Structure 1
């Protein structure tokens, strides 16, 4: 068997709020949750597991490749909800998207403070 990505745990201030944000932004499925985790599942079975650690959360960066239609819906959700977003990871171009790598991209922060990147074309 070759290696495949199975799951990651994302630190959250409120695990349910973060899981809901990701489900709505990326149109992901709810998954059974257990113990300290609230889970969401990608179509390929990969889990994002949200947990509330007893320590200060350090910002992480998570990038997701999405198709143009999902990008449009997600970007509309950010705008409609007044969620601050940027065209760049340095957060210097507020309210914009970028057109790098022959696609589109946008950055926002999730409820836990992590930097989320949505792109329509892979970098490589």
Structure 2
């Protein structure tokens, strides 16, 4: 069996708020509460299990999501409509902008617990296939 990431736990101040926030932005479903977790499943089978912990226990993490151009348009509109601050860079030095790294589009924003979220349309290091001239 090849190694695959199955799930990860994301600490939050309010597991439902954080799960619903991300699911709304990405157009995903929030799953049924399971013990202390509120799950959000991604298309590649990885489950994000949101868990409520004391705010002082949250160490901000970074989560990047590879999405299609159409999904980017929808997610970006939700970010803007909700008034969520967004940036073209992970350090927040380019507010109100998106980036075009690797020939795609990307944007950074923060979830309710302070985690850095990123949506991109091309994986880092992506190189478009060379055009064939016949």
Give the shorter-chain TM-score range. over 0.9
Residue in structure 1 matched with residue 130 of structure 2 by the alignment: none
For 1:45-60, list aligned pairs within 5 A: 45-54=45-54, 55-60=56-61
Distance (Å, rounded) in 2 between the aligned partners of 1:121 and 1:106: 12
Larger radius of gyration between Structure 1 and Structure 2: 2
Residue in structure 2 matched with residue 5 of structure 1 by the alignment: 5
Residue in structure 2 matched with residue 29 of structure 1 by the alignment: 29
Q: CA RMSD in A?
A: 1.1
Residue ranges of structure 2 left out of the alignment (5+ in a row): 126-134
Distance (Å, rounded) in 1 between the aligned partners of 2:43 and 2:91: 30
Residue in structure 1 matched with residue 74 of structure 2 by the alignment: 73
Identify the range of structure 1 (16-25 vs 52-61) with the bigger mean alpha-carbon deviation.
Answer: 52-61
Residue ranges of structure 1 left out of the alignment (5+ in a row): none
Distance (Å, rounded) in 2 between the aligned partners of 1:3 and 1:96: 36
Moved over 6 A (4+): none
Deviation at 1:42, TM superposition (A): 1.4
Deviation at 1:119, TM superposition (A): 0.5
Q: Deviations over 1:51-102 (max 9, x none)?
A: 0123431111111100001101111111111100000001011110001111
TM (norm. structure 1) is 0.95
| SS of alignment partner, residue 4 of structure 2 | coil
TM (norm. structure 2) is 0.88
